[in-house]
A and B are shown apart, each in its own frame.
Chain A
């Protein structure tokens, strides 16, 4: 779709820019999806009404409240200063701690892709409530605030935290909010790729004895935070999210699917998953 004769649309320009960024390695989601669907199916098992709301349609009060709550938590909005601050920390890490020129470039591609998401979620925010688009919402969960003092910390951050985003985006494929359902495959794919980037870095880190020991120790910091990101199993809001079609499964179920996924990947690196209850804050 063009904006005028000979003028490419915004999306085709972005797609072209992304294509030109492709290398043998980037984007890392390609290898993952080439072997089949890497993520588990998240299927709603409770009976619920079928809702479907598109942008501009009147939304029930509770629905809108829950949707904004969800998007506040997600955070990747161009108008969210705290998201841009988080991205700046990634730039700082890339500049100060990068192990190789290739790793630094991968981080640059990662940042570009996250900023693409920021534009996509900005559009959702504007379509939902104008003043939400510019609202600063600092990430509330401690996983976004854990110290990153080595490339290994940063690799875990991406492996675990971006994967959390991929799982939630997978769940949005069935979302009753049409704009979210439409963008979910792209967000899921990209976030899975970001997680694979972290995993690729981890693979390099554990290839020598000291790196393996470092990764083993730091896993004790990141693993509980990763599981805690899914919230409490008995969250009182979860049944409401499921009722309205904003989520398909509860916190415990999505966390369990995530745990199965990460445990298998960690084992493939020779890392033993820690006790799932150790150092947990939100069970």
Chain B
């Protein structure tokens, strides 16, 4: 599980999310906002190889627009830093 877990950590780090210590007997991990520490979700360690990066990449627009991520805006800001034009387009399309 170590390699998959590292994949998950790397994938979520790109959008400013860290993995907490294993929750309740292992297998599952809380996802924490790297900006403020708030819990933003959870994930298990049995994803298939390559899946974590794919999922996070596909959710870029959702982080950018604030539909996913912490209310503090950290993930949206990370998305802006990663790809400002795409961030702007996503916010125009999906924003409030």
**Chain A interface residues (CB < 8 Å from chain B):** 81-82, 84-86, 88-89, 92-93, 96-97, 136, 138-142, 144-150, 153, 210, 213-214, 217, 220-221, 281
Tell me the smallest distance from the CB of B78 to a CB of chain A, in Å: 14
Sampled A-B contacts (26; CB under 8 Å): A81-B25, A82-B27, A85-B24, A85-B26, A89-B24, A93-B41, A96-B41, A97-B41, A139-B46, A145-B47, A146-B44, A146-B55, A147-B31, A147-B42, A147-B55, A148-B41, A148-B42, A148-B43, A149-B41, A149-B68, A149-B69, A150-B41, A153-B41, A217-B59, A217-B61, A281-B48
A32 to B63 alpha-carbon distance, docked (Å): 35
B-side contacts of A144, CB under 8 Å: 44, 46
Tell me if A141 and B46 are in contact (CB < 8 A).
yes
B-side contacts of A81, CB under 8 Å: 25
Tell me the smallest distance from the CB of A161 to a CB of chain B, in Å: 12
B-side contacts of A217, CB under 8 Å: 58-59, 61-62, 67
User: Between A and B, how many residue pairs show CB distances below 8 Å?
Assistant: 98
Task: Please pick, from B28, B45, B58, B94, the residue contacting A221 in the complex, using a CB distance under 8 A.
Answer: B58
Given A82-B25, A88-B23, answer yes or no on A93-B42 (Cβ-Cβ < 8 Å). yes
A217 to B94 alpha-carbon distance, docked (Å): 11
Tell me if B67 and A138 are in contact (CB < 8 A).
no
A197 to B27 alpha-carbon distance, docked (Å): 25
Tell me if A139 and B42 are in contact (CB < 8 A).
no
A141 to B27 alpha-carbon distance, docked (Å): 12
Tell me if B67 and A214 are in contact (CB < 8 A).
yes
Task: Please pick, from B47, B65, B94, the residue contacting A146 in the complex, using a CB distance under 8 A.
Answer: B47
Tell me if B41 and A138 are in contact (CB < 8 A).
no
A-side contacts of B42, CB under 8 Å: 89, 92-93, 147-148
Interface size for chain B: under 10, 10 to 19, 20 to 34, or 35 or more residues?
A: 20 to 34
Q: When A and B form their complex, which 5 residue pairs have the shortest distance between CB atoms, in order from nearest?
A: A145-B44, A149-B41, A88-B24, A147-B43, A85-B24
B40 beta carbon closer than 8 Å to chain A:
yes
**Chain B interface residues (CB < 8 Å from chain A):** 23-28, 30-31, 38-48, 51-52, 55, 58-59, 61-62, 65, 67-69, 94, 96
Given A88-B24, A92-B23, A92-B42, answer yes or no on A210-B55 (Cβ-Cβ < 8 Å). no
A221 to B68 alpha-carbon distance, docked (Å): 14
Tell me if B67 and A142 are in contact (CB < 8 A).
no
Please name 16 further chain A to chain B contacts, defined as beta carbons within 8 Å, in addition to the given A89-B24, A214-B68, sorted by A numbering: A85-B24, A88-B24, A88-B28, A89-B44, A96-B38, A138-B46, A139-B27, A142-B44, A145-B43, A145-B46, A147-B31, A149-B41, A149-B68, A153-B41, A210-B65, A217-B58
A97 to B70 alpha-carbon distance, docked (Å): 10
Tell me if A140 and B24 are in contact (CB < 8 A).
no
Tell me if A145 and B24 are in contact (CB < 8 A).
no
B-side contacts of A85, CB under 8 Å: 23-28
A103 to B43 alpha-carbon distance, docked (Å): 21
Q: B44, B52, B67: which has the most chain A beta carbons within 10 Å? A: B44
Tell me if B23 and A89 are in contact (CB < 8 A).
yes
